[in-house]
Amino acid sequence: DQQVKQNSPSLSVQEGRISILNCDYTNSMFDYFLWYKKYPAEGPTFLISISSIKDKNEDGRFTVFLNKSAKHLSLHIVPSQPGDSAVYFCAAGGNNRLAFGKGNQVVVIP
């Protein structure tokens, strides 16, 4: 069974608007959650993370929200820029291992 789920495989958004990516997980024992960004033919790059004891973490244009009771997290990108066009992976971690979702393709339209 997949422990981390990302629905809505693709998202198109106008430049300057907000992009919202959602992620659900099943294991309440996860200690931390991360978002990665991936361009074609490159490895994933770390974007932002949040500990299970927090409900929000912000870094520049990127904010991650965690709702532990719902086992749900989201990534907000505002304002969206053309360089944000990529695949975004949600990951959940514990015991130095990560479980990844299938990814969301984001296209930012100039």
Stretch that binds another protein, among 17-25, 68-76, 78-86, 89-97 (CB under 8 A): 89-97
- State the Cα–Cα distance between residues 65 and 12, nearest whole angstrom: 21
Among 11, 20, 22, 32, binds another protein (CB under 8 A): 32
Asked if residues 105 and 7 have their Cβ atoms less than 8 Å apart, the reply is: no
3-state secondary structure of 60: coil
Does residue number 25 form part of the binding site for another protein (CB under 8 A)?
no
Closer residue to another protein (CB): 11 or 79? 11
Closer residue to another protein (CB): 92 or 108? 92
79: preceding bond cis by omega (within 30 degrees): yes
